[in-house]
């Protein structure tokens, strides 16, 4: 699951935790742009949140373009499902997939669940 600390990412984290069942593995991936180390504290916060729910996960830090790195992580981890939050909204107020979630939907090697 992709995690950037946004409100939709927190909701996506909760959904991913709920979907984690027997024999499945949850991997939380945070992507920072070059020179930004903020993803470390984001993953620490995600780790603490999941511990409160008694959910174990692996945590992956990537550097680069978020959608590209999330798709690469899905391939590397042989993911069955990618869970991402959506932040975009159109000019008429109708929610639209954000650029990251839309690109992940187009490029991921597996199913993608986009959380509002």
How much is the pTM? 0.85
Residue 1, in any domain of the structure: no
Q: Give 46-98 pLDDT, tens digit per residue.
A: 999 999 999 999 999 999 999 999 999 999 999 999 999 987 555 455 545 56
Contact 11, 101 (CB under 8 A): no
Residue 18, in any domain of the structure: yes
Range of the domain at 87: 7-115
HSE, CB side, 13 Å, CA atoms: give it for residue 36.
Answer: 16
Give how many domains the chain has, as a whole number: 1
Q: Which pLDDT score, from 0 to 100, does residue 95 have?
A: 47
Residue 67, in any domain of the structure: yes
Residue 12, in any domain of the structure: yes
């Amino acid at each position: 699951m992709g995690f950037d600390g946004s409100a939709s990412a927190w909701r996506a984290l909760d959904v991913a935790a709920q979907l984690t069942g027997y024999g499945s593995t949850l991997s939380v991936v945070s992507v920072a742009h070059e020179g930004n180390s903020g993803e470390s504290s984001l993953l620490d916060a995600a780790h603490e949140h999941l511990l409160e729910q008694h959910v174990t996960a692996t945590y992956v830090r990537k550097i680069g373009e978020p959608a590209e790195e999330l798709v690469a992580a899905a391939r590397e981890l042989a993911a069955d499902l990618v869970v991402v939050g959506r932040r975009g909204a159109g000019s008429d107020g109708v929610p639209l997939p954000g650029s990251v979630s839309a690109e992940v939907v187009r490029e991921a090697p597996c199913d993608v669940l986009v959380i509002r």
